[in-house]
Structure 1
Amino acid sequence: MALRHAVLAALLTGDGSGGSDGGGSDGDGGGEYSGYQLAKAFDIGVANFWHALPQQLYAELAKLEKEGLVAGRQVVQETRPNKRLFRVTEAGLAELAAFTTATSKPSFIRDDLMVKVQAADSVDTGPLIEQLEERASVAEAKTELFGKLLRKMRGGLDEEEFLRRGDRIGPYLTCLRGLALERENREWGLRVAAVLRARGPIRAER
């Protein structure tokens, strides 16, 4: 997967308001996001399975617009700087459609904290325990964030009803995966920290 596909997918979650003047999407995919709004939406949702820095997103938006996969328009604001809004074009939707038909590769974990745990028998575990508990704390905060986001998406519907007939089911399903992942991160971090603390200081054999 390329970053472009993640950006296109994130743009499809735009609310279509287009800012203060209420511009729509003219029949193309989703609504509209400014670069700033895209970065915020990306951080909450897509970043859980495809990380990118804001400057990378801005650069990718420029590439996508040049290739005709997104369309941008200028919005004049009286009390704030003008901003540019982006939406997915029909060509962008076609790009996403082609992407979804391609075979997905198995996912792989690349996590420096797990490498540290792998070496726990030969290193001072004090700093490692602190990092594990910090990871668990961050995961707990993200769990709460996902819970709020999911409730906002559902509106007045309960989850099963929303899954049957709610709008924009894709972002909801990916947020469910993010919620499960962060719950697992919290449980794993706390358990490993407790195990290492119970075993006491490690004296590595030389």
Structure 2
Amino acid sequence: MALRNAVLAALLEGEASGYDLAKGFDASVANFWMTSPQQLYRELERMESDGLVEARVVQQERRPNKRLFSLTEAGERALYDFTAEPARPTAIRDELMVKVQAVDRGDEAAVRASVAERLEWARAKLARYDRLRARLLDGLTEEEYLVRAERIGPYLTLMRGRALERENIQWAEQALAVLERRSHAPAPH
């Protein structure tokens, strides 16, 4: 999947500056798409030259002018076409999993520390997702929200991100317990 599709989907929320999109990616889209602000700005420029987004300049006092991007009809068509394509499963490319795979011949303490760091990262991310969920629901039950909300796509992706982080927490806790038990067990003969 191209970054452009994630940007097109993010712009469904409405007009946004590159800065706003970068913050939004961090808060809501990061559960399924990671990018740097530099990549995002370069992609917005390409998308503008391809006619998928348009930008308007907003004059600001005491700050540099900002450009607000919005979808064009061509951008909406491109996003529609993207959603019509079959989705291919993604492969996990996770450096931590390679380290865990090699733990038996590697630095077990360093691997344990990496797993513990991932555990804390997942807990923090889940807490952010839970705060976002509470803001989206705004006092409604999940069922009420899913019936009444104008757009449910952001909530459905948030649900997936929360499930992924809960699973990351469960796996990391289990992996740390196994590694801890083995560090105190007698060596196999």
- Taking only the aligned residue pairs, the percentage that are identical comes to 54
Cα deviation for residue 156 of structure 1 reads 2.6
Q: How does 1:97-112 map to 2 (within 5 A)?
A: 97-112=80-95
Contact 1:73 1:86 in 2 (8 A): yes
For residues 105 and 184 of structure 2, what CA distance do their matches in structure 1 show? Answer: 10
Task: Give the structure 2 partner of residue 86 of structure 1.
Answer: 69
Q: TM-score, normalised by structure 1?
A: 0.86
Structure 2: 5+ residue stretches without partners: none
Task: Give the structure 2 partner of residue 9 of structure 1.
Answer: 9
Cα deviation for residue 204 of structure 1 reads 9.8
Contact 1:154 1:166 in 2 (8 A): no
Write out per-residue CA displacement over residues 32-90 of structure 1, whole angstroms, 9 at most, x where no aligned residue.
11100100101122222222111000000001111111110000112322111001111
Structure 1: 5+ residue stretches without partners: 14-30
Q: State the 4+ residue runs in structure 1 displaced beyond 6 angstroms.
A: 201-205
Look up the equivalent residue of 1:3 and give its one-letter code: L
- Work out which of the residue numbers 124, 129, 137 in structure 2 matches 1:154: 137
Write out per-residue CA displacement over residues 93-137 of structure 1, whole angstroms, 9 at most, x where no aligned residue.
100111111111112111011111111222221111111111000
Write out per-residue CA displacement over residues 140-192 of structure 1, whole angstroms, 9 at most, x where no aligned residue.
01101001111111223111110112122101110111111111111111210
The Cα RMSD (Å) is 1.8
User: When you count helix as a share of all residues, which structure comes out higher?
Assistant: 2
Task: Give the structure 1 partner of residue 56 of structure 2.
Answer: 73
- Work out which of the residue numbers 160, 163, 174 in structure 2 matches 1:180: 163
Q: TM-score, normalised by structure 2?
A: 0.94
For residues 175 and 109 of structure 1, what CA distance do their matches in structure 2 show? Answer: 19
Of residues 194-203 and 76-85 in structure 1, the stretch that sits farther from structure 2 once superposed is 194-203
Q: 1:194 and 2:180 equivalent?
A: no
